[in-house]
Structures are given as structure tokens and as C-alpha cells.
Amino acid sequence: MAKLPLYAAGFMAPFAILLIAAAAEDTALLKQAQGIFQPLPKDMATAEFPITRERVELGRSLFFDPRLTIDASMSCSSCHQPAFYGTDALPKPTGVKQRPHPRHVPTNLNAGTSFVIHWRGDRTNLEDQVFQALTSPITSGQPDEKAVFDRLARIPGYPPLFKAAFPDDPQPITLRNIATAIGAYERTLVTPSPFDAYLAGNQEALPPTAKAGLEKFINTGCVACHNGVGIGGGMYQKFGVVEDYWKATGSDPIDKGRFDVTKDPDDLYVFRVASLRNVAMTPPYFHDGSVATLPDAVKVMARVQLGVRLNDADTGDIVAFLQSLTGELPANFATAPVLPSGFVVPAK
């Protein structure tokens, strides 16, 4: 600041008071945020699913290896692409043999923070998701688990990696162990963001627009569902609480959500609440990728969940907050591993 003549001090006192009041408000917002959200842990290991170096190394190779699928054309990373923050930039992906997937790809980054996996919660955890994907007709196309094992056993580099990761198993190449290894790898994929630094107490980590957006995100009621460590991912919720969702999204067909899993009328149009971490990097949005841009997605949510019509300015602030949830890509995800060499003739 330039030097000011003394008489200016009196003139500026009211501004100083305003600044102090603003600082107090900022601190109140931080405290409020700390009560609603939690920063990311350093990984997502649990007592049931511990992380070992050997399992992560094996899981990382398997994650990037297309040779597990029927025509050796797709890997986990075909849909969960590093270049798109673990998504594929499509409304809905296409699986092996041009078979369509029914729903949009959720990112695998920080996915271990979710209480269940998949839009309808029909996978209990990361390992269950992998386990079922390995013989899914859309994701894998393999007829049975034996076909998967045959592939791996014929790539000379893999059996030693399995042995190292599961030293107590006489036959370590099993669907369960593949799932455990890929799960262990995925449990390392956390993306701490400016918002985590903010939650840790660094008020400078967020620009003023993001703080304004955070306040609006809280006061509009978004945090009723989008809270906790994932800023979402902690509960089920009906999509379209105050208005049918498809009227705002243009969705076609209309997905009944968890109802199709449980047949419970209370689950009609119910989905797992999505984590908003890295949401700015993963368009398009919702279970069917029906909305292309983040501002539109924010407006749809406010409208159909909370009955609020957000204007462009408030939407922009909330988007600025959501952008503060973008973290850096983990190095062991951004960089592809060199896969065990050795060719396997794909099934016709």
C-alpha cells in the first residue's frame, strides 16, 4: 500500500472495521465448512481392505491391461481415463463388442470414499465392483472366470506379481485377488484439492468467488446431501425431490434408479449421491450424462432437488467453489505402467 497522510487514517477507520468484520465472517464460514466436510485422508485403506505395495503394483498393471477382456481391447482405463480424470467424456460408454453400458461413468478417483459403488449402489465396495466387472458381459465379455485366469497365466510377468501380492495363496490367480489388487490400487487414488487445504485452515487456499460459492452451496441446501469427505457419496437420495428430474435434464429413457435393484417403491428414482470431487473435470453430468456443462448441472440440481431457481451470478459462484474441488492427478494414475510383455491370442 502507498504511504498515506495521517488524516487519511481517520477516513479509513470504517473500512478497517469492515475488513475485521469480513475476516470474522470468513472464519465463521471456515468453521461451518469444517463441521460439514472432511479433508481427504492420504489413502482409502480400511481394516478389511489394507494396502500393500505389492498389491498396488499388481492392481495398477491389471487396471491398465486390456488383455483381461474378451477381445483384449478394453481395460479399466478405457472408461476411467487419466486424461479425463477417471471418466471418458461420454454420456454413456460402450463396452466390448459395441455393447452399450446403461449409465454414465463415475470417476474412480477418490471412489473409495463412497459408501456404496455405482449409481444405484448395487456394488458394495470397489472390490465388489471389480469382481463383478471381470465377468460382466458388457465390461469384460469373458464367458467365465477360467477365461480370465487363462489370459493372465499366459503372460509370463503376471504369476510372479500375484505370488508377491498374495504370498500365502497356493493359487493366487483368483477373481477375488484380482479384485483385491485393483481395489488396493484404487484406494491409493486420492486427489487433495485447494478445498482440502482450506478445510485444514488455510483461508487463502480459496479465491473470494469460491468462498462466496461455498456459502451459497451451504445456504441453498446442497450440503444436505453433498457433505462429508467426498462432498457426496455418503447416502442415497431421490433424484427429483420437488420436480421430476427428466423435465430438467431431458433424460430419455427415464431411469428408475435403485427401484430396479430393490423393487421397493420408496427407491423409485433414487440414486447414490455423487461425490463432487473433481466434478469440474468430468462432464457430462448425472447418471445418464444428459447435461453437458457444470453451470447447467448446478441449476438442474437446485431446481429439482431444492425448488430453487439459481441466477447466473450465484451459479457462477457455486461453480467457482466446485472448481476448488479439483485436485492434481495422482502420479501412479497419470502415468501408465509398462505392462508385463507377452502376447495372448484374443478370443474371436
Least separation, in Å, of the C-beta of 98 and a second copy?
6
Distances (CA, A) of 306 to 239, 247, 265, 288, 294: 11, 15, 22, 21, 17
Closest to a second copy by CB, 155 vs 310, is 155
Closest to a second copy by CB, 203 vs 293, is 293
Closest to a second copy by CB, 41 vs 91, is 91
Buried/exposed 151-170: b ≥16 CB within 10 Å, e otherwise: bbeebeebeebbeebbeeee
Least separation, in Å, of the C-beta of 171 and a second copy?
25
Closest to a second copy by CB, 96 vs 117, is 96
Closest to a second copy by CB, 117 vs 248, is 248
Contacts of 201 (CB under 8 A, 6+ apart): 30
Least separation, in Å, of the C-beta of 11 and a second copy?
44
Binding site for a second copy (CB under 8 A): 64-67, 71-73, 81-85, 88-91, 94, 97-98, 280-281, 283-284, 289, 292-293, 329, 334-339, 341-346
Closest to a second copy by CB, 85 vs 185, is 85
Residue 211 near residue 29, CB atoms below 8 Å: yes
Least separation, in Å, of the C-beta of 83 and a second copy?
4
Where are the alpha helices (H) located in 200-311, listed in sequence order?
208-220, 245-249, 259-262, 294-306
Residue 115 near residue 233, CB atoms below 8 Å: yes
Least separation, in Å, of the C-beta of 164 and a second copy?
20
Closest to a second copy by CB, 85 vs 198, is 85
Q: What is the largest CA-CA distance in the chain?
A: 87
Contacts of 192 (CB under 8 A, 6+ apart): 39, 40, 327, 328
Least separation, in Å, of the C-beta of 183 and a second copy?
20
- What's the chain's length in residues? 348
Closest to a second copy by CB, 168 vs 328, is 328
Least separation, in Å, of the C-beta of 336 and a second copy?
4
Instruction: Say how many C-beta atoms besides its own lie within 10 A of residue 257's C-beta.
Output: 25
Torsion sign (Cα): 299, 104, 182, 65: negative
For residue 130, the surrounding DSSP H or E stretch is helix 126-133
Contacts of 288 (CB under 8 A, 6+ apart): 91, 92, 103, 104, 249, 251, 255
